[in-house]
C-alpha cells in the first residue's frame, strides 16, 4: 500500500470497518512509515473529540452514528486533510464534526450505531480503549460499538444485549465489533441470539461469516491444507520439496433454533437449520452437516438469556 492508499483507509481503520486483510496491510505500512503513524494518531484524537462532543444534544446511538458518518464523509478527502500541518487541519476537521453531530441529532438518526450493553459479566474481562489503546476492565452497564475489542479471561462469561439481540461470550474469548451487529471472532466461542429482524453477523479473519437468526453457538476450528510444488531447472531433474502444511481458524456454527446463512469469502451462500452445523473448508466453501452433539450452548445457560 502507498501512503495515499493508507491515508484514505485510516478513517475505516479507526471505525473498525476494514476487513482483516486490508487492515493488516495498513498496520504493516504504519510500522515503517512515521508520517502515516502521525496521521493515524491525529485521526484517533479526532475520533475521541467527536465521541465527547455534543453530549446533551445527541444520544449515544446518535453520536456514534454521526461519528461514523463524519469520518466516512472525509474518507475521500483524507489525503488532502492529513497532509496539512496538524495545527491547521485539526481546527476545521473538529468544527465540521461538531456541526455534523448537531445536524444529525436534529434529524433523529436511527440504527446506524446501535451499541451493545453489558448486562452480565462474571470474573474478569477487558476492552481496548479506542483513544489510548490501553486495556481497561469491563463493568456491567458499559456500552460498546464499532471499533471496540472485548476479551474475557479464564472463568469469565459475559452477556451483551442490543434490543432483543444478545451475544454471550464464553471464557477466554476475544471479539471485535467491526460494524453495527457485526463481530469478528478472534478466539473462543460465543452464543448469538437474534430474531430475524435483528440478525447478528459473526465472521472469522478470512471473512467467512454466519448470519444468525435464532440461537446459535459460534466457535472456531483449525483446518489444514497441504501445499506442494516442484522446482524445475532446464537440463536438471525436477526438485520436489516436502509439502507445507497451512493452518487456518474457521467458523463453526451449531444451530439450536432458527437458522444461519453461511457466507463464504467467494460469495457462496448456504443455510444451516436447527439441528445442523455449518462450517467452511480451507478455501472458504460453506458446508453443512448434522450436529454431532445436540447439547448446544449449555455453558451459556447460567447467564439467563431468553430461549
Same domain, residue pair 175 and 121: yes
The three cell numbers locating residue 290: 448434522
| Residue that is written with C-alpha cell 516442484 in the block | 230
For residue 215, give the H/E element and its range.
strand 209-227
For the cut 50, the answer to whether the pLDDT of residue 223 exceeds it is yes
Instruction: Indicate the angle between helix axes 3-15 and 34-52, nearest 10 degrees.
Output: 30
Whether the pLDDT of residue 245 is over 60: the answer is: yes
Task: Tell whether 262 and 141 lie within a shared domain.
Answer: yes
250 close to 221: Cβ distance less than 8 angstroms: yes
CATH number of the structural domain spanning residue 267: 2.60.120.1440
Domain of 216, in residue numbers: 116-303
Q: Do 93 and 128 reside in the same domain of the chain?
A: no
pLDDT in tens, 20-50: 788 888 888 888 887 778 777 777 666 665 5
Judgement on whether residues 268 and 210 belong to the same structural domain of the protein = yes
Same domain flag for 196 and 233? yes
pLDDT of 196 over the 80 cut: yes
Sequence-separated (6 or more) residues with CB below 8 Å from residue 271: 259, 260, 261, 262, 278, 288
Q: How many domains are contained in the chain?
A: 2
Determine the Cα–Cα distance for residues 84 and 82; give it in Å rounded to an integer: 5
Domain-terminating residue out of 70, 86, 107: 107
**Same domain for 38 and 183:** no
The position carrying cell 531447472 is 233
% residues pLDDT > 90 (the chain): 34
For residues 254 and 262, what is the distance between their CA atoms, to the nearest angstrom? Answer: 12
Condensed to tens digits (0 to 9), the pLDDT of residues 58-114 reads: 444 444 555 555 555 544 444 444 444 444 444 444 444 544 444 444 333 333 457
**Co-location of 216 and 296 in the same domain:** yes
Q: How confident is the model at residue 229 (pLDDT cuts 50, 70, 90)?
A: low
What's the whole-model pTM score?
0.59
- Read off the pLDDT band of 226 (50, 70, 90): low
Instruction: Please indicate, yes or no, whether residues 126 and 73 belong to a single structural domain of this protein.
Output: no
Amino acid at each position: 500500500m502507498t501512503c495515499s492508499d493508507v491515508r484514505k483507509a485510516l478513517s475505516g481503520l479507526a471505525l473498525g470497518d476494514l476487513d482483516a486483510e486490508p487492515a493488516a496491510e495498513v498496520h504493516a505500512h504504519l510500522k515503517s512509515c512515521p508520517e502515516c503513524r502521525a496521521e493515524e494518531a491525529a485521526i484517533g484524537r479526532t475520533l475521541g473529540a467527536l465521541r465527547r462532543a455534543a453530549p446533551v444534544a445527541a444520544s449515544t446511538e446518535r453520536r456514534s452514528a454521526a461519528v461514523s458518518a463524519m469520518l466516512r464523509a472525509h474518507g475521500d478527502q483524507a489525503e488532502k486533510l492529513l497532509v496539512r500541518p496538524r495545527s491547521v487541519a485539526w481546527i476545521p476537521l473538529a468544527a465540521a464534526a461538531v456541526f455534523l453531530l448537531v445536524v444529525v441529532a436534529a434529524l433523529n438518526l436511527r440504527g446506524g450505531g446501535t451499541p451493545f450493553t453489558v448486562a452480565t459479566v462474571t470474573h474478569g474481562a477487558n476492552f481496548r480503549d479506542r483513544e489510548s489503546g490501553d486495556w481497561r476492565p469491563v463493568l456491567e452497564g458499559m456500552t460498546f460499538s464499532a471499533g471496540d475489542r472485548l476479551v474475557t479471561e479464564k472463568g469469565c462469561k459475559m452477556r451483551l444485549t442490543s434490543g432483543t439481540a444478545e451475544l454471550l461470550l464464553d471464557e477466554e474469548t476475544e471479539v471485535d465489533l467491526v460494524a453495527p451487529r457485526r463481530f469478528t471472532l478472534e478466539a473462543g466461542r460465543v452464543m448469538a441470539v437474534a430474531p430475524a429482524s435483528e440478525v447478528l453477523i459473526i465472521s472469522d479473519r478470512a471473512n467467512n461469516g454466519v448470519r444468525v437468526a435464532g440461537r446459535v453457538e459460534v466457535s472456531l476450528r483449525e483446518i489444514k491444507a497441504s501445499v506442494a510444488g516442484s522446482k524445475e531447472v532446464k537440463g536438471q531433474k525436477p526438485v520436489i520439496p516436502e509439502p507445507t502444511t497451512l493452518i487456518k481458524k474457521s467458523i463453526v456454527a451449531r444451530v439450536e433454533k432458527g437458522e444461519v446463512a453461511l457466507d463464504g469469502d467467494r460469495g457462496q451462500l448456504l443455510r444451516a437449520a436447527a439441528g445442523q452445523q455449518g462450517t467452511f473448508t480451507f478455501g472458504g466453501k460453506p458446508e453443512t452437516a448434522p450436529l454431532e452433539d445436540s447439547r448446544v450452548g449449555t455453558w451459556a445457560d447460567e447467564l439467563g438469556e431468553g430461549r
